[in-house]
Structure formats: structure tokens, C-alpha cells
Amino acid sequence: MAEGDEQHVARYPDDVRADIRSWPTGRLLSVAARVVEGRFHAFLSARGLTHAGLIALHHVAQGCLPQRELATLCRVTDQTMSRTVEHLRRSGYVVKETDSRDRRRTLIEITAAGREVLDEARRQERDSDTLFGALDDYAAFREQLIALIAAI
């Protein structure tokens, strides 16, 4: 196909259904990942979030964190985390404060709006017909993905 598989799936679902069973498993996995990623990106974007921002919210939901520690947990550079936190702050999802015990450290804390959007994202991931709606058992699928990645 000249265009990407994920676009072809969206434009010509009947054509795809006709030959999808002949696709190699690697192609199935790759296309599924791109389709779901695109849908999830649209969901997040509509809420002023990015994938990186969602990961950061996941970590600060556990409690207030120094920005450098948050960067480490998210496996990004300090500069990347600085941009992510600033975007989250402008969206009202986190607040930044200077650590009163060490003025060189910046602490990041989730807001009520941040907790709300994180909870919504988690709910949509589990229950949405458009994100993973074709799954019969979300929990089992998640465990299979974990096993696949952990086996590498």
C-alpha cells in the first residue's frame, strides 16, 4: 500500500477486513499500535495533554515530586521535563513551587484538574469504545502486552 497502513485501515475498513487474516503478526501489531496511538493522541490533544504529560501526571499523582526526580522517573532530560511541566502548568494540571528547604529545587504537584484529567484518561483507556473497544478483556490484554515487553 502506498499510504500508511493505519490510514488505509481508517479509509477502507471493508478492504482491510477482507485480507487482514493474511497479514503477518508483526504487521498486525505495528498497525494496531499506530491506530491506537493516533486515537489516544487525539483524545489527549482535545484535553491539552501529550503522552509525555500524561506520564508525568501519572507520577505526580503519587505525591509532590522534585522536577529532577520526575524527569528521572519519566526517563527524559531535565530540559524536556521543564517543557512538559510548563505545558502542564499552563493547562492547570500541575503547580510548581520552590522547595522551602532547598531553594534550588522545584517541586511539582498535581492539581484537582490534573487528577481529574488523569482519571478520565485511565477510564477511557479501559472503557472507551474508540480506544480499545474491540477488546473482550482489557486486563488480560494488558497482561499479555506486559509479558511481551518484559520477555525482551
Q: Would you tell me how many other CB atoms lie within 10 Å of the CB of residue 132?
A: 18
Note the pTM of the prediction, 2 decimals: 0.78
Q: Give the pLDDT confidence score for residue 4 in this predicted structure.
A: 64
**Going along the chain, which residue ranges are E strands?**
65-66, 94-98, 106-110
Q: pLDDT of 102-126, one tens digit each?
A: 888 999 999 999 999 999 999 888 8
Q: State the cell numbers at 71.
A: 524527569
Q: Which residue has the higher pLDDT, 30 or 10?
A: 30
Q: How far apart are CA 72 and CA 87, in angstroms?
A: 18
pLDDT computed for residue 2 by the predictor: 36
Residue 70, C-beta contacts closer than 8 angstroms, at least 6 positions apart: 56, 59, 60, 81, 85, 108
| 108 CB-near residues (< 8 Å, 6+ apart) | 56, 60, 64, 65, 66, 67, 70, 85, 94, 95, 96
Task: Give me the mean pLDDT over the 49-74 stretch.
Answer: 96
Has residue 150 got a pLDDT over 60?
A: yes
Q: Cα(1)–Cα(80) distance, rounded to whole angstroms?
A: 36
Average pLDDT for 7-30: 78
